[in-house]
């Protein structure tokens, strides 16, 4: 099932095992917001965007840990599908074949800083063991959470723009308006 012109449910579902008919209305809304954001990124990049990490469940997050990844227990990837993480707002990990990952990260920051997209966290991440890179993009919590729930999130869980070169174990923040310079 297509969510937008260029993004389907299967891409967001990934290894979570969550079928669209079983997803909550809130999850479906979060996926729609993210798909619209990714359409803007795709248009700016002029190339297809690949979702390499989408919706997670508690079971799929555990499988990731066993495979050597470091998924956060409070990840926005849960899209509200894990009762233990009720404040998750939806996130994806993406790559852009044919585009340097650091250039993709800076393009997303440019779109964010110029008000072309509204996001929460934007993270450039690297798993040195696997040699893989991706950009993590989260929905803007202000578009998803009630004011009461928004007040329960920390500023870093809402607006963090950072780089992690150690598989998400530590992050170096990038100041507002800044870009990554390797």
Q: What is the predicted pLDDT for the residue at 157?
A: 73
Which of 37-46, 66-75, 106-115 shows the lowest mean pLDDT across its residues? 66-75
Q: The tokens 């993009």 sit on which residue?
A: 137
Q: What is the predicted pLDDT for the residue at 34?
A: 98
Q: DSSP label at 82?
A: S
Q: What is the SS3 assignment for 92?
A: strand
pLDDT over 90 at 84, yes or no: no
Closest Cα partner for 49 from 114, 104, 116? 104
Distance separating alpha carbons of residues 109 and 46, to the nearest angstrom? 16
DSSP 102-162: HHHHHHHHHHHHTTSS-EEEEEEEEETTTTEEEEEEEE-GGGTS-HHHHTTS-HHHHH-EE
Distance separating alpha carbons of residues 99 and 101, to the nearest angstrom? 6
pTM here? 0.94
Give me the count of residues in the chain.
182
Mean pLDDT of all residues in the chain? 93
For range 150-163, the mean pLDDT: 86
Distance separating alpha carbons of residues 49 and 104, to the nearest angstrom? 10
Q: What is the predicted pLDDT for the residue at 83?
A: 85
pLDDT over 80 at 14, yes or no: yes
Q: What is the predicted pLDDT for the residue at 159?
A: 85
Q: What is the predicted pLDDT for the residue at 120?
A: 95
Q: Domain-by-domain residue ranges, the chain?
A: 9-173
For range 154-178, the mean pLDDT: 90
Q: What is the SS3 assignment for 28?
A: helix
Q: The tokens 């967001």 sit on which residue?
A: 12
Q: What is the SS3 assignment for 115?
A: coil
Specify the CATH class of 9-173 in words.
alpha beta
Quick one: pLDDT band at residue 178, thresholds 50, 70, 90?
Answer: very high
């Amino acid at each position: 099932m297509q969510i937008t012109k260029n993004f389907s449910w299967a891409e967001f579902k990934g290894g979570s095992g969550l079928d669209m008919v079983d997803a909550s209305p809130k999850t479906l809304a979060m996926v729609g917001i993210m798909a619209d954001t990714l359409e803007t990124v795709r248009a700016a990049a002029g190339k297809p965007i690949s979702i390499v990490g989408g919706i997670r469940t508690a079971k799929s997050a555990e499988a990731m840990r066993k495979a050597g990844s470091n998924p956060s227990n409070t990840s926005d990837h849960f899209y509200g599908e894990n009762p233990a993480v009720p404040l998750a707002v939806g996130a994806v990990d993406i790559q852009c074949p044919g585009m340097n990952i650091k250039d993709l990260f800076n393009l997303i920051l440019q779109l964010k800083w110029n008000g072309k997209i509204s996001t929460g966290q934007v993270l450039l991440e690297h798993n040195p063991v696997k040699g893989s890179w991706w950009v993590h993009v989260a929905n803007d919590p202000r578009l998803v959470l009630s004011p009461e729930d928004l007040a329960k999130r920390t500023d870093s869980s809402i607006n963090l723009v950072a780089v992690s070169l150690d598989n998400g174990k530590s992050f170096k923040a990038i100041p507002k308006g800044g870009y990554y310079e390797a």
